[in-house]
Chains A and B, each alone.
Chain A
Amino acid sequence: MKRIILIIALFYFWPVQAQSIGDIDYGMYDSVVRLDGNIYRIRRIPEGDFEILRRRHEEKCRSLIRTVTGLGNIQRALGSKYRVLFAEDQYGYERLYEISKGDQMVIYFPEDEGGEWTYYPEHKILGYYGGHESDQAVNLATGETAEKPVAVSPNRVFLLSGMHDGQDYMEYTISRWNSETNSYVRLVSVTEIFKQVKNSMERLGYPGYVFHTFWVGNKLYFTAGSGKYSSITVPWP
C-alpha cells in the first residue's frame, strides 16, 4: 500500500519538480530569426512564469560577475604590469588620467568623464560614466571599446553585456564563449534580433527598454516594456 502511495505521489509531483530546477519549456516559439548563420528562437512568456524564473536566476547571473571599485583597488587588481595614474580632485572625487601597460600601451581618459569606476577582472574591462551619465567601457588588454558585462549564464557559456547611451536607450550584446580563442565572441545585439521580428514593438516591446535580463541554460529572459516578457534561445557552441 505504501509503495502505491509513493508511486502516486511521485507521479503527482514529477512535473512540478522538473519545472522548478530551471527552464520552462513551452515547446513552440513565436519567431525564429537567422543572423550570420545562427538561429535565434524568440518566445513570449506569461508574467507569472517570468517572475518565478526571475526570482531564481536573475541575482545568480549578476553575482557571477566579479567587480572591483575604487581606483586604488583597481590598481591592486591589475597588478604591477599596469600603472593607474589618478588623483582625488578638490571635491574628493577620483579623477583618472591614464592607465598604462608598460611600454606596450597607454590609455588616456578625458578630463570631463569619469565616476563610478568599475573593473571586471575576468573580462579585463573597465567601465565608467561618460557624458549624460552614459556608460563607457574599455578593454584594458587591447585598448578597444568594450561593453559592461550585465549577466553571465551559470555555465559561463553566454554573456550579455550592455551600455546605456545616456539618453533613453540601453543596447545589449549577446556573446558566446569560444574555447579556441579563450574569450567571449560577439554573436548579435538584442536590437538586431528585434529588427528581424515582425511587429516587434507590439509583440516584444521596445529594444531600448530591455530590463531584468537573466540566463537559464541557453535562454536569455528579459522584459521590454509593460507586460512584455520574452526569451531568446541562443544556439549552443
Chain B
Amino acid sequence: MKRLLFVWVVSVFCAWPVASGQERDSVGTVKNYTVGIHRVQVTTTELDDEQFYEAVSPDEIRYYALNPSIFDSLAEPYRIMLDFDSIRSAIGDRVKFEYNKYDWMNDEKEYISSFTVARGRKIVFRAVYPVSAYFPDLDIITFGWWDNARFYPTNIETGQLEPFPHEIIVSDNNSYRIIQALYPNDYYTIQYWDTGAERFMHLCTLGDLGIPEAAQVFWRSDTLYLYTSYYSPGSYIKIDFTKL
C-alpha cells in the first residue's frame, strides 16, 4: 500500500509542470500605445474554440495552410537570389566565407561555419546552415535548410541582424499589419497605418502583450485573432485595437 502511495505521489509530482502549464499574466489586460499623432488602446482577450471559429471560418484556415505562397508574395516584394554561386558573384569580395567540412553518411560536404562582412564583423554559426537567399535591394543574406527557411537575416555591410519580413499579414481595412520576422526566434511586430505620415509605424510586438509565439493569425477589421501554443494548453486570443 505504501509503495502504491509512493508511486502515486511521484507520478503526480512528475506530471505537475505539464498539467499546470505556464502562468500567463498579460492576457485580458488593456494597454495604450501612441503611434504618430494617434493613441491606440490594445485589449487582449482569451477565447474558447467556439468563439474563435465563429470569428474565423475553418475554411479560411485551411486555405492559408494549403497556400503558404500567399504570404510569399507579400513577404518578398524584393528581388531575390537563390543560387549560391550567383550570390557570391553579386556580393563580390565584401564577404569572406569560412567553411566546415562534415562527414554525414560519408558524403563530405562543406557548410558555412562563419563569415566576415564588409565592416569586419565576424558572424559565427554554432550550427551549420547553407545560404538560403540574398536580397540585393536590401543587401540582406539569409540562411536555412529548407527553401522557405530564412534564418539570421544579416545585413552584409554591417553584419547586424535585421528583422526580415518573413510574413506580412495586412488587415482587411488596411489599418494594421502584423509582420513575422525570424529573429531571434519568432518575432511579431504590429504596425499601424499613420495617415499623417502615410506609412505603417510600429505599435507593439506580440511579446509586449505576453504572447511570444503565434499561429493562425487573422485580421477582422481592427481585431487580430490568433492561436498560441506557447502556453500549455494552447489558447485562442483576440486582440482589439481601438483608436482613442
On A, residues with C-beta under 8 Å from B are: 85, 90-91, 97-98, 103-111, 113, 136, 138, 143
Contacts and interface: CB of A to CB of B under 8 A. Distances in A.
A105 B122 contact: yes
A54 B184 CA distance: 46
8 cross-chain pairs, A with B, having the tightest CB-CB distances, nearest first: A110-B127, A143-B124, A107-B124, A105-B122, A97-B184, A90-B22, A109-B126, A108-B125
B68 interface: no
A110 B185 CA distance: 11
A138 B100 CA distance: 14
Interface stretch (B43-51, B113-121, B195-203): B113-121
Contacts of A106: 121-124, 159
B232 interface: yes
Given A97-B184, A103-B159, A91 B17 contact: yes
Interface of B: 17, 22, 114, 119-127, 152, 159, 184-185, 230-232
B89 to A, nearest CB: 26
Contacts of B185: 97, 111
A98 B184 contact: yes
Contact of A104 (B121, B125, B127): B121
Contacts of A91: 17
Contacts of A107: 124, 126
B126 A105 contact: no
A107 B113 CA distance: 10
30 contacts: A90-B22, A90-B230, A91-B17, A97-B184, A98-B184, A103-B119, A103-B159, A104-B121, A104-B122, A105-B124, A106-B121, A106-B122, A106-B124, A106-B159, A107-B124, A107-B126, A108-B123, A108-B125, A108-B152, A109-B126, A110-B126, A110-B127, A111-B185, A113-B126, A113-B127, A136-B126, A138-B124, A138-B126, A143-B122, A143-B124
Contacts of B230: 90
A138 B127 CA distance: 12
Contact of B121 (A98, A105, A136): A105
Contacts of A108: 123-127, 152
Nearest to B122: A105
A138 B122 CA distance: 14
A91 B22 CA distance: 8
A108 B119 CA distance: 18
A85 B124 CA distance: 15
A103 B22 CA distance: 36
Nearest to B120: A104
B19 to A, nearest CB: 13
Nearest to A97: B184
Contact of A85 (B120, B125, B184): B184
A106 B121 CA distance: 8
Contacts of B114: 143
A68 to B, nearest CB: 19
A168 B127 CA distance: 22
B150 to A, nearest CB: 14
Contacts of B124: 105-108, 138, 143
A91 B232 CA distance: 11
Most buried by A among B114, B121, B126: B126
Contacts of B126: 107-110, 113, 136, 138
A106 B160 CA distance: 9
A85 B161 CA distance: 13
B155 to A, nearest CB: 12
Contacts of B232: 90
Contacts of A90: 22, 230-232
Contacts of A143: 114, 122, 124
